Amino acid sequence: MDKRRWTREYSHIPRLIDHYIVAEGMRRGIFKPSAVKAARERARTLPHPFWSVDLIDSLEVFV
């Protein structure tokens, strides 16, 4: 996918997931903060091949 298209059409999705899914899961006790932190670090260091290195730095969720 073209980076500009990602930015224009999909870049808000990780933020929505973080603000609604993860936050609500932590509030309800479904997700533990330590597990969320570990998952974020794992995603940062071993991303799925779909995610390019130059894109990862631009995602607010991982910053």
Which tops the pLDDT comparison, 51 or 6?
6
The rounded distance, in Å, linking the Cα atoms of 2 and 31 is 33
pTM surpassing 0.75?
A: no
Token pair for 13 = 């999705």
Number of compact structural domains in the chain: 1
Residue 30 pLDDT: 96
What is the extent of the structural domain holding 30?
3-58
23 in a structural domain: yes
The whole-number pLDDT of residue 43 equals 85
* Residue 28 located in a structural domain: yes
Measured CA distances, 57 to 27, 34, 45, 52 (Å): 27, 22, 12, 9
- Average of per-residue pLDDT across 19-41: 94
Q: Within a domain: residue 36?
A: yes
pLDDT at position 16, please?
92
Task: Give the model's pLDDT for residue 24.
Answer: 94
Does a structural domain hold residue 37? yes
Residue 63 domain flag:
no
Residue-wise pLDDT tens digits, 5-16: 888 898 899 889
With respect to residue 27, please indicate whether it lies within any of the assigned structural domains. yes
- Cα angle: 37, vertex 38, 44; to 5 degrees: 90
